[in-house]
Amino acid sequence: MKVLALALLALFVAHPARAIDAAEREAILLHGPWPPEATPDPSNRASGDPAAIALGQRLFFDVRLSRDLDRACASCHLPAQAYADGRPRGEGLRPLDRNTIALANLGGRRWYGWDGRSDSLWAQSLHPIVDERELAASGTLLRDRLEREHDAVFGPADDDEIFLVDIAKALAAWQETLVTPRSAFDDYRDALEAGDAAGMAAYPVAARRGLSLFVGRGQCATCHFGPSFSNGEFDSVGINYFLGPDGVDRGRHGGIAALLASPFNLLGRHNDDSARTTAAPTTHVALLHRNWGEFRVPSLRGVKATAPYMHDGSLATLAEVARHYSEIDLDRLHQDGQLTLQPLHLTEAEIADLVAFLETL
Amino acid sequence: MRHATLAIILFAAGLSGGQALADQPRFIDAHVHYSHDAWDRLPPEAAIRILRDAGLAQVFVSSSSDEGTQRLYQAAPDLIVPVLRPYRNRGELSTWFRDPTAAEHVEARLKQYRYAGIGEFHIYGADADGPVMRRLVQLAKEYKLFLHAHGDAEAVRRLFAQDPEARILWAHAGFVPPAEVRAMLAAYPTLWADLAFRNDHAADGRVDPAWRALFEAYPDRFMAGTDTFTPERWYYIGEHARWTRAWLADLPGPLAENIAWRNAATLARWQATP
Amino acid sequence: MKLALALAAGLAATPALACGPGIPVSADGLQLAYRIEPAAAVGRMVAVEVATCDGLALEGFDARMPIHGHGLNYRPRIAATGPGAYRIEGVLFHMPGPWQFVFDVRAGETTRRLTADLTIRR
């Protein structure tokens, strides 16, 4: 009893304005621990293999992956910018439709890309290589240029498509190693779990208030759930998804269509796992009316470094993102099926708190 | 296997995109909105082109404000079935039934233009017995129009209590399970239901058994619709028509035709002159 | 006395024990029991094992979040695994909070819907 009273007192001392109730404590603890344990991708025989990881890292910066030998993965995924590019939308050989996704914490996801068109990191890594707007290369071209390096890691490939997939698998093996470091939030979260009042007190007060909003009234954690701050699914949050004067970005609806039509999905011949242990989401994914114009719920780890935001980079700062949700236009959402999002009408001070919290991730 | 079938449907859809679909089975889309943000982005000619490309025979259009419906109707009177929404802008969805000027607005528009129905409006529970909603039920009776109601079963029951002969199109079949839809259809012979924005009745070109039994029990009551609740969803109309035709093909021909267009055409025939 | 009460309470709380292991669900005298395998968690694809009583046939299954108005992003499939035994594959809770299982069962010529509320915390 005495111990409990002391612990409660310690909490009040650390943050005199408020105590932490059990529900909030549980909600906060769900966002850790960090980093997660690395588990190899069973669909990729190169996953976790040091030689493949080293090859993938070299190839990520290698212009031989582009048809015209003028660009590499790293031309858009810039290491100095959290492997994003700082632009609203990507610029390949031609302008792209969506924001360049930062590359971190990619292992073990169900879906990749803003529309989840890939069910593995290697399948997603293959798209930019062959997309005419990006690197515009092909398996045949890569085989001509990279056979020696490839064969040293994978052995000879039976055909050009397998060769292309192997290259993508090496790229994936390296990208899996990109993990955001522990953050100020992680230190706070672990101090909370351990009952370490001094550790908790080190967390900025504004961020702590923002965290309360995030897991509480804001209900942000409903979708930005768990240690990676994403439930790995897709949603419509009222962002315009027109594309040019005469079309739209179909988002998740197009993503599911592309996934199921792809020879590179986990149900196909390139999955190295004969038991298909990670293929169940692909088997069961449902194509729904509401998928039209839905986009990935992005992870918020390291989000401070990945501006601008949203699938089309239309919001320049985290404060703009917070304001968007705070004053969300319910007319943009269907009356049924989307009761999660409600206008919060946050004050500017609350928006600043929310941003202060997000910047600690 | 299921996904292989779906992939083929999607692939075929991709191939046929943009082609005229005149040889497609006849289909009426009973749930389209053309609200101010849509016509800002998609002028009437472009909107009509989308509807024609989808191979639609007719389209029930209601808009916030009604100006959008009138613009489309003028551009293609053969295609558009005007339905009068009480909302003057999209923000009125949850407040209109407490606003007497909404009923006045509907009354004034009815004197000025031709409509087949009043709706789609959102109404739940006891709100259906408020004076504004009551006035709309009276106007529908007076002008012989159907009511396109988005709401719960209780609201629909209250509307029928006000006018047992009302003709009501229950938007989204109330988003209730088939057993509850069945009970409502059994209780009210002049209740129809649209299937807009529902996915539970069909997947991958197959009709769910419980829904199939319901369609067979009430072959004259169902119709399909897209629900373009944001302007971007206008680009879903063609995809939705393909999706709907795929599951309709899983039903016996006459029943599929009823749901595809005959039931909607029956409702549209109540179009009245002022 | 205490023991007798405990036994009575135990019997009253587990009417579905006769059908099979799991959490009992009943309405209007119709009963089934379900188990989630592996343990439910947000973002984990799980299976639901269902045991029905008295020859009840399981014909449909869904999971919804009533307070949000949405269902699953995945389409579960039901497979009969024995008399009155079913395995539903492909259930993935994508948000924490209150969910509802919906079981459509057939008894003779009538179909009924049984629902079970559950909360996914993590």
Q: Which domains does chain A have, with CATH numbers?
A: 14-35+180-246+294-361 (1.10.760.10), 40-179+252-292 (1.10.760.10)
State phi, psi for A75 to the nearest 5 degrees.
Answer: -70, -30
The domain that holds B185 is classified in CATH as 3.20.20.140
Give the domain range for residue B122. 24-268
Closest Cα partner for C91 from C82, C104, C78? C78
* Farthest-apart Cα atoms in chain B, separation: 55
Cβ-Cβ contacts under 8 Å, B229 against chain C: none
For chains B and C, CB pairs below 8 A equal 15
More confident residue, B171 or A8: B171
For residue B22, is pLDDT > 70? no
Chain A window 25-54: which residues touch C at a Cβ cutoff of 8 Å? Answer: 26, 30
Q: Which residues of C touch B (CB under 8 A)?
A: 59-60, 62, 69, 71, 75, 102, 104, 111, 113
Structural domains present in chain C: 2-120 (2.60.40.1930)
**Interface contact flag, B203 A286, Cβ < 8 Å:** yes
pLDDT above 70 coverage of chain B, percent: 90
Q: What DSSP string describes A24-88?
A: HHHHHHTT--SSPPP---TT-TTTT-HHHHHHHHHHHT-GGGSTTSS--GGGTSBGGGTTB-SSS
What is the Cα–Cα distance from A305 to A147, expressed in whole angstroms? Answer: 36
For residue C108, is pLDDT > 90? no
Q: What is the pLDDT of residue B16?
A: 40
Q: What is the pLDDT of residue C122?
A: 86
Chain C window 1-40: which residues touch A at a Cβ cutoff of 8 Å? Answer: none
**Interface contact flag, B203 A287, Cβ < 8 Å:** yes
Q: What is the pLDDT of residue A141?
A: 98
Q: What is the pLDDT of residue C69?
A: 84
Mutation for B interface: A235, A334, A339, A342, most B CBs within 10 A = A334
For residue B152, is pLDDT > 60? yes
Chain A closest-CA separation from residue C15 CA (Å): 33
Asked if B239 has any chain A CB less than 8 Å from its own CB, the reply is: yes
Which of C67, C73, C75 lies at the smallest CB-CB distance from A233? C73
Which of B11, B229, B235 lies at the smallest CB-CB distance from A334? B229
**Interface contact flag, C59 B210, Cβ < 8 Å:** yes
Chain C closest-CA separation from residue A197 CA (Å): 25
**Interface contact flag, C72 A286, Cβ < 8 Å:** yes
Q: What is the pLDDT of residue A114?
A: 98
Mean pLDDT of C97-116: 91
Mutation for B interface: C111, C112, C114, C115, most B CBs within 10 A = C111
Q: How confident is the model at residue C110 (pLDDT cuts 50, 70, 90)?
A: confident
Chain A closest-CA separation from residue B179 CA (Å): 19
Asked if A285 has any chain C CB less than 8 Å from its own CB, the reply is: yes
Residue B111 lies in a domain: yes
In three-state secondary structure terms, A229 is: coil
Q: What is the total count of domains within chain B?
A: 1
Cβ-Cβ contacts under 8 Å, A243 against chain B: none
Q: Which residue has the tokens 């072959």?
A: B219
Chain C closest-CA separation from residue B46 CA (Å): 33
Which of B175, B203, B210 lies at the smallest CB-CB distance from C111? B210
Asked if C73 has any chain A CB less than 8 Å from its own CB, the reply is: yes
Q: What is the pLDDT of residues A72-124, one digit of tens each?
A: 999 999 999 999 999 999 999 999 999 999 999 999 999 999 999 999 999 99
Mean pLDDT in order along chain A per 10 residues (361 residues): 48 53 95 95 98 98 98 97 97 96 96 98 98 98 98 98 98 98 98 97 98 96 96 95 92 98 98 97 97 97 98 98 93 71 94 98 98
**Interface contact flag, C113 B203, Cβ < 8 Å:** no
Residue B2 lies in a domain: no
What is the Cα–Cα distance from A318 to A360, expressed in whole angstroms? Answer: 12
Cβ-Cβ contacts under 8 Å, B175 against chain C: 69
Which of C60, C69, C75 lies at the smallest CB-CB distance from B210? C60
Chain C closest-CA separation from residue A30 CA (Å): 7
Residues 6+ apart with CB under 8 A from B185: B191, B193, B214, B217, B218, B221
Q: What is the pLDDT of residues B99-125, one digit of tens each?
A: 999 999 999 999 999 999 999 999 999
For residue C8, is pLDDT > 60? no
Q: What is the pLDDT of residue A18?
A: 56
A270: its two tokens:
């390139």
Q: What is the pLDDT of residue B2?
A: 45
DSSP A150: H
In three-state secondary structure terms, A15 is: coil
Which of A231, A290, A336 lies at the smallest CB-CB distance from C43? A231
Chain A closest-CA separation from residue B274 CA (Å): 32
| Strands, E assignment, chain B | 28-32, 58-61, 80-84, 117-123, 146-151, 168-170, 191-194, 202-203, 206-207, 222-223
Residue B142's Cβ-side half-sphere holds a number of Cα atoms within 13 Å equal to 11
What is the Cα–Cα distance from A253 to A235, expressed in whole angstroms? Answer: 11
Q: How confident is the model at residue B24 (pLDDT cuts 50, 70, 90)?
A: confident
Mutation for C interface: A193, A233, A292, most C CBs within 10 A = A233
Closest Cα partner for A218 from A128, A298, A65, A327? A327
The set of chains that have 3 or more CB pairs under 8 A with C is: A, B
Q: What is the pLDDT of residue C29?
A: 87
**Interface contact flag, A260 B6, Cβ < 8 Å:** yes
Asked if B175 has any chain A CB less than 8 Å from its own CB, the reply is: yes
Supply the angle between the helices A205-215 and A22-29 in degrees, to the nearest 10: 90
Q: Which residue has the tokens 């055909």?
A: A159
Q: What is the pLDDT of residue A14?
A: 47
Contact C91, C76 (CB under 8 A): yes
CA distances from A63 to A68, A137, A174 (A): 8, 11, 17
Q: Which residue has the tokens 């909404």?
A: B102
Nearest chain B residue to C103 by CA: give it. B177
Residue B115 lies in a domain: yes
A175: its two tokens:
């990208």
What is the Cα–Cα distance from B97 to B103, expressed in whole angstroms? Answer: 8
Q: What is the pLDDT of residue C111?
A: 82
Chain B closest-CA separation from residue C89 CA (Å): 15
For residue C81, is pLDDT > 60? yes
Which of A247, A267, A331 lies at the smallest CB-CB distance from B93? A331
φ/ψ bin of B18: left (φ > 0), alpha (ψ from -120 to 50), beta (otherwise)? left
CB atoms within 10 A of CB A202: 12
Can you count the helices (H) and strands (E) in chain A?
Answer: 13, 2
For residue C2, is pLDDT > 60? no
CA angle C38, C44, C49 (to 5 degrees): 40
What is the Cα–Cα distance from A274 to A263, expressed in whole angstroms? Answer: 16
Chain A closest-CA separation from residue C79 CA (Å): 14
**Interface contact flag, C95 A286, Cβ < 8 Å:** no
Nearest chain C residue to A339 by CA: give it. C68
What is the Cα–Cα distance from A189 to A227, expressed in whole angstroms? Answer: 11
Residue B6 lies in a domain: no
Q: What is the pLDDT of residue A122?
A: 98
Which of A223, A231, A286 lies at the smallest CB-CB distance from C75? A286
